[in-house]
Structure 1
C-alpha cells in the first residue's frame, strides 16, 4: 500500500510542477522593443571667430609728434646746381610770388605772361670769375612755368658750368631771374697724378734692406732707422726733411 501511495504522490507533484511551468510560460510578457528613432541632422552654419577687441585698440592713437610731410616749396628764391656724372648735371629751383611781382614791376604788368621761361647753361671752364657775360659759350633749354628741376646733358667731362633761370622777352632779350652755383664735372680718364712719395719710400726700403715684398715692415723700418735714413716716430710713409 505504501508503494502505491508514494507513486501516486510523485505523479501529482510532477503534474503540479508541469502546470505551474506552463502557466508561467503563458503569462510571461514579451520584452518591449523600443523603436530606434532616426536622428534628425540639423544644418549648422560656421560662425566667424570673434575675438574681443579692447576699446584702446579701436580708438585711433594720436601721436605726440605727428609726422610732417615734406613741403613742395620753402618760400625761398634759389637755384641749386649739382653734378650727376661726367656728362650730366642736375638743377632744381624755386621762384616765389614775390620774385614774380618784382619782375612785373620792373618790366611791366604783362611781362611775365608775354615772356617764356628758359634755362640757360653756361660753360665757365677756366674762368676765375663769371659775371654773366664772359662764358665760353652757353645753351638755352626751353621749359614751362611749372617746371622746377631739370637734368641737363652737357657731355663735357672735366668742365665747369653755371645755370640761369630766366625769361626771354618778345624782343629776344634774356632776363636772369636766378643764378646757380658753379660745378665741375669729373674726368672720364684715369688720373695722371701719381703718389711719388709712396713710390720713393718703397724704393728706399728695397735699396737699403734688399728685402722682397712681403717682408715684415717693422724689420724694414728698424733697419732703415739704424742707417739714419728713415726718421724716428713716423707712422705713415713720408719724405724725410733734408738737412740744410
Structure 2
C-alpha cells in the first residue's frame, strides 16, 4: 500500500483580504438579518478625503417593491472608512432588499455601489393559524410544532429589543 501525506498549500495561494475594487454584496442570514460586506478601491478611497463638506460613508438599505410601485422605503446606516462588513436588522421579513454603499457631501449623495437584491425568508408559514384543527393536530403529532411554524402573536415578539442602560 501507499502512504498518505497531507497537502499543504503555499502561503501565496491564500485568498487576499481585498481585491481593490469598489463593490458591495448582501446575503440573507436569517429572516431578520442581512449580512453586507464591501470594499472601496484605493483610488476612490483617496479621493474621498479631498471632497469639500464630506460628511461620511453610509449604507442605504432599500426595500424593493413590486414593479410599478413608485416610492420605496429605505433607511440609512452610518459606517466608517474602516468598516467593511455589517449585520443589518431588516424591518420586514419576506420582502426583498438592496444595500447601496453611499457617500454624503454637503449638496449631494453619491452611490458608489449597489448590492444584489436579496429576498428575505419568512419567519413562519403564512396562514397557518387558519388551518383546520386536524392539520394543527397533525403538526403536533408529527413533532413539527416545535419548528415554530405558527405566526408569532403580540405576546411573542419576533424582533430583538435592546433595553436602555440605566
Calculate the TM-score normalised by the size of structure 1: 0.44
Shift of 1:136: 1.7
- Distance in 1 (CA, whole Å) between partners of 2:51 and 2:121 is 39
- Distance in 1 (CA, whole Å) between partners of 2:27 and 2:71 is 19
Shift of 1:71: 1.6
Q: Deviations over 1:58-85 (max 9, x none)?
A: xxxxx98523443211123221111011
Say which of 52, 57, 64 aligns to 1:124: 64
Q: Deviations over 1:66-117 (max 9, x none)?
A: 234432111232211110111111110111023346x66xxxx721783310
Structure that is richer in helix per residue: 1
- Distance in 2 (CA, whole Å) between partners of 1:95 and 1:120 is 16
1:100–1:112 CA contact under 8 A, matched in 2: no
- Distance in 2 (CA, whole Å) between partners of 1:162 and 1:141 is 13
Unaligned runs of 5+ in 2: 1-6, 128-166
Say which of 66, 69, 72 aligns to 2:10: 66
The RMSD of aligned alpha carbons is 2.8
- Distance in 1 (CA, whole Å) between partners of 2:15 and 2:71 is 36
Aligned residue pairs total 121
Partner of 2:73: 137
SS at match of 2:99: strand
Partner of 1:87: 32
Say which of 138, 163, 166 aligns to 2:102: 166
Residue 71 and residue 184 in structure 1: after superposition, are their counterparts in 2 closer, same or farther (change >3 A)? same
Q: Deviations over 1:118-177 (max 9, x none)?
A: 111101132379xxxx55211010010111111000131110101111111123x21101
1:114–1:169 CA contact under 8 A, matched in 2: yes
Say which of 93, 98, 110 aligns to 1:157: 93
Residue 149 and residue 157 in structure 1: after superposition, are their counterparts in 2 closer, same or farther (change >3 A)? same
Partner of 1:29: none
Q: Is 2:42 the counterpart of 1:97?
A: yes
The one of the two structures with greater contact order (alpha-carbon pairs below 8 A, sep at least 6) is: 2
